[in-house]
Amino acid sequence: MAPTSLPGTTDRRLASLLTLFANNATIAISGARIAKEIGVSRSTVWRWVERLREVGVRVKGRPNTGYFLERVPDRLTPDLLRQQLKGSMFGKRIHHFFRTDSTNRVAMELGYTNEPEGAVVIAEEQTAGRGRAGRNWHSERATGIYATLLLRPKISPVQAPLLTMMAGLSAHAAIQAQTGLQPDLKWPNDLMLNGKKLGGILTEMHAEPTVVRFVIVGIGINVNQEKFPAELSAIATSLRAETGRGQSRLELLARLLREFETDYNRFLRDGSGSVTERFTQVSSYASGKKVRVTNGKETYIGVTAGLRPEGLLQIRREDGALVTVLAGDVTETR
């Protein structure tokens, strides 16, 4: 079944044009050949080339000389991603936007309209990217990964936060495989490198008291950002900043989705321990870290003391009490 065409998603033929260019990078292709291969008129080809240019794809050339790309664009269009995701549950229904408000907002709508499990919503740019606690997620065009996965797991709502931690583990593994870097995981949803934020996960769900209808897992990773807005520059980083070179978002997203699928199947089969045990190994925040916890009501200091089976973080407070963090910000302190 072909994915439903959502308002604003990238026209399939426009995506085909980009794939054609990507597969023939640096070779000039005549407008006439493009028109024939995609099945549109030459004037349509010209208009679409202009649209690709508007969304930042550097297409060189003119109708009479032929068009070409200076280099393969790192765009996450369905065709390019699908080539890397053969046989994966996430390779079947990919909804791509050059620009949307929030991939979580789109995925939530898909969830309510019976879209099957495994759908992926991807944007090159978000105009209202959502972060945790009502914050905004900075989503500069074609530099980061902004993706949301739709899941329909047969779990109870209390287990859903484990999917956030699991997504962090999948992202950790994908980043390590591609770059050799080992991000830390700050409970529950932050990917950190050298004390700065590299990425975050925002899970939202629709559930009845005892059963989950669907869960959406939104993943944001700073990949090729060279600079951030002033208010973020001291607290955010990107893979490019940390490795000193640009990284393929396409490759990283494909790895991430494959890791996620493996982790998700393991979680459904083996339960929460498959997540909490790995999280405890990978995250320096799981135990023995002095932290400040801030929630709507209070702020306190303590030392992290392991995870509960449902993934909640325990803290040994300064007054000796062992408490469980249900919500709030946990930050390292001295």
Residue ranges binding ligand BTN (CB under 6 A): 102-104, 126, 129-132, 135, 137, 146-148, 189-190, 200-202, 218-220
CB of 19 to ligand BTN, least distance (A): 23
| Closer residue to ligand BTN in complex, CB, 59/202 | 202
38 and 45 in contact (C-beta within 8 Å)? yes
Q: Which residues contact 282 (CB under 8 A, 6 or more apart)?
A: 169, 172, 184, 185
| Closer residue to ligand BTN in complex, CB, 73/199 | 199
What are the Cα distances from residue 149, in Å, to 109, 111, 310, 320, 327?
A: 12, 10, 21, 40, 23
CB of 216 to ligand BTN, least distance (A): 8
CB of 131 to ligand BTN, least distance (A): 3
- Sheet of 329-332: strand order equals 322-325, 313-317, 299-307, 287-294, 329-332
270 and 262 in contact (C-beta within 8 Å)? no
Q: How many beta carbons lie within 10 A of that of residue 156, not counting itself? A: 14
Rounded Cα gap, residues 93 and 83, in angstroms:
13
| Closer residue to ligand BTN in complex, CB, 197/278 | 197
| Closer residue to ligand BTN in complex, CB, 29/184 | 184
CB of 18 to ligand BTN, least distance (A): 21
| Closer residue to ligand BTN in complex, CB, 48/187 | 187
Q: Which residues contact 210 (CB under 8 A, 6 or more apart)?
A: 156, 157
CB of 141 to ligand BTN, least distance (A): 13
CB of 143 to ligand BTN, least distance (A): 12
CA diameter of the chain: 77
| Closer residue to ligand BTN in complex, CB, 60/132 | 132
Residue nearest to ligand BTN (CB): 200
Rounded Cα gap, residues 232 and 226, in angstroms:
12
